[in-house]
């Protein structure tokens, strides 16, 4: 009776060893780039496979000994499948999480914005670890917008699912603005040009010359007082008995000017984009 029991137990252990010997017990989660070991049980040789996003490994192993997984084989965050094949194949899966932030992707828009525009500037930050994995655990991103070392905007935003973003009004003064995003000593910067809005109070004056009529604007500013950039087109129009004359003249050093050739009673006007200036009436003698 006792011998039968002993024999049955031995047989059970032998069968259990056959059926459950090739066991894999990887950690449920590890960090990208960190090596670890996966214990195995059983005896004999087997082939070990590691399939993951970004790497595939195959090596011969001895059952009962731990399988060493190198850090460079688990740099990409995601789901990994490990397989141990002897007489039969057994598998398991585990997750690799991103390491701590090592760089920031900072998408800032626009690269040019008009002054005094509500909600016209926005920025989005994604923190990545050194293996380009998106860091999903929350970190706080400090956004700042400065011009001439004056702060226009500052906000701390925690990431949600690896993203933080902000939106802000543009400032009142044209010029270069620096946008920065920082996380734990990491930072990224973007340059933004604030430009003048549409011309405001476009005014012209004219005088007769030997060549015709020289029309000139007053220095052109927007309604916040910023000089409208050079190169902006001002369209001058002169209507007279000789017909209509138009010149699209770019602003130079804050002023646009053009020579027109009307004759007789003349009405002169100017416009820039959708902004109209004043009208002048003069009697041109040629």
Q: Return d(Cα 156, Cα 83) in angstroms, integer.
A: 45
The answer to the question of residue 105 lying near other proteins (CB under 8 A) is yes
Nearest in space to 284 (alpha carbons), one of 275, 270, 269, 267: 267
244, 264, 276, 286: which one binds other proteins (CB under 8 A): 244
**Binder among 177, 260, 270, 282 for other proteins (CB under 8 A):** 260
Q: Between 2 and 285, whose beta carbon lies closer to other proteins?
A: 285
Report in angstroms the alpha-carbon separations of 167 from 119, 143, 152, 268.
6, 10, 12, 43
Q: Which of 115, 206, 234, 284 binds other proteins (CB under 8 A)?
A: 234
Q: Which stretch binds other proteins (CB under 8 A): 11-19, 38-46, 141-149, 270-278?
A: 270-278
DSSP annotation of 253 reads T
Q: Tokens 């459950």 belong to which residue?
A: 20
Give the DSSP letter of residue 195.
Answer: E
Contact segment (CB under 8 A) with other proteins among 18-26, 38-46, 145-153, 256-264 equals 256-264
**Residues 23 to 62: which contact other proteins by CB under 8 A?**
28-29, 49, 51-58
Q: Does 112 bind other proteins (CB under 8 A)?
A: yes
Query: Is the CB of 15 or the CB of 279 nearer to other proteins?
Result: 279
Q: Which residues contact 10 (CB under 8 A, 6 or more apart)?
A: none
Q: Which of 122, 142, 146, 187 binds other proteins (CB under 8 A)?
A: 122
57 half-sphere exposure, CB direction, 13 A CA radius: 20
Instruction: Provide the minimum distance between the beta carbon of 181 and other proteins in the complex, in angstroms, as a whole number.
Output: 10
Nearer to other proteins, 64 or 78 (CB): 78
- Give me the residues paired with residue 119 across strands: none
Show the site string, 141-170: x = touches other proteins by CB under 8 A, - = not.
--------------------xxx-x-x---
Q: Supply the DSSP string of 60-124, one letter for each residue.
A: EEETTSPEEEPGGGS-S-EEEEEEEESSSEEEEEEEEE--S--EEEEEEE-SEEETT-TT-EEEE
Give me 88's structure tokens: 């039969």
Query: Coil, strand or helix: which one is 223?
Result: coil
Decide: is 106 part of the binding site for other proteins (CB under 8 A).
Answer: yes
Taking the complex as a whole, the smallest distance from the CB of residue 39 to other proteins amounts, in Å, to 20
Among the candidate windows 2-10, 19-27, 141-149, 240-248, which touches other proteins by CB under 8 A? Answer: 240-248
DSSP readout, 135-154?
--S--EEEEEEEETTEEEEE
**Residue 1 Cβ vs other proteins, minimum distance, rounded to whole Å:** 44
Point out which span in 9-17, 62-70, 143-151, 229-237 binds other proteins (CB under 8 A). Answer: 229-237
Q: How far is the CB of 11 from other proteins (least distance, A)?
A: 29
Question: Does residue 178 interact with other proteins by CB under 8 A?
Answer: no
Q: Looking at 68, 72, 230, 283, which residue binds other proteins (CB under 8 A)?
A: 230
Q: Is 173 in the site for other proteins (CB under 8 A)?
A: no
> Cα dihedral angle (159, 163, 164, 165), rounded to 10 degrees?
-160
């Amino acid at each position: 009776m006792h011998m039968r029991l002993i024999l049955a137990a031995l047989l059970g252990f032998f069968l259990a060893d056959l059926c459950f010997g090739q066991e894999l017990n990887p950690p449920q989660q590890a960090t990208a780039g960190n090596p670890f070991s996966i214990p195995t049980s059983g005896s004999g040789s087997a082939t070990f496979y590691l399939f993951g996003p970004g790497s595939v490994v195959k090596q011969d192993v001895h059952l009962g000994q731990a399988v060493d997984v190198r850090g460079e084989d688990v740099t990409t965050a995601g789901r990994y499948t490990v397989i141990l094949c002897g007489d039969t194949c057994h598998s398991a899966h585990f997750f690799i999480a991103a390491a701590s932030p090592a760089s920031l992707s900072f998408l800032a828009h626009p690269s040019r914005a008009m002054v005094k525009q509500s909600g016209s500037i926005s920025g989005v930050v994604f923190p990545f670890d050194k293996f380009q994995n998106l860091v999903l655990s929350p970190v706080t991103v400090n956004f700042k917008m400065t011009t001439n070392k004056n702060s226009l905007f500052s906000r701390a935003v925690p990431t949600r699912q690896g993203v933080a973003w902000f939106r802000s009004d543009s400032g009142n003064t044209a010029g270069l603005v620096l946008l920065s995003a920082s996380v734990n000593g990491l930072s990224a910067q973007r340059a933004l040009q604030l430009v003048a809005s549409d011309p405001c109070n476009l005014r012209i004056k004219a005088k007769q010359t030997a060549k015709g009529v020289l029309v000139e604007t007053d220095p052109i500013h927007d309604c916040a007082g910023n000089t409208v950039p050079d190169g902006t087109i001002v369209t001058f129009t002169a209507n007279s008995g000789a017909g209509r004359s138009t010149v699209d003249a770019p602003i130079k050093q804050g002023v646009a000017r053009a020579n027109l050739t009307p004759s007789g009673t003349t009405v002169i006007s100017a416009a820039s984009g959708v902004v109209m200036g004043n009208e002048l009436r003069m009697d041109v003698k040629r």
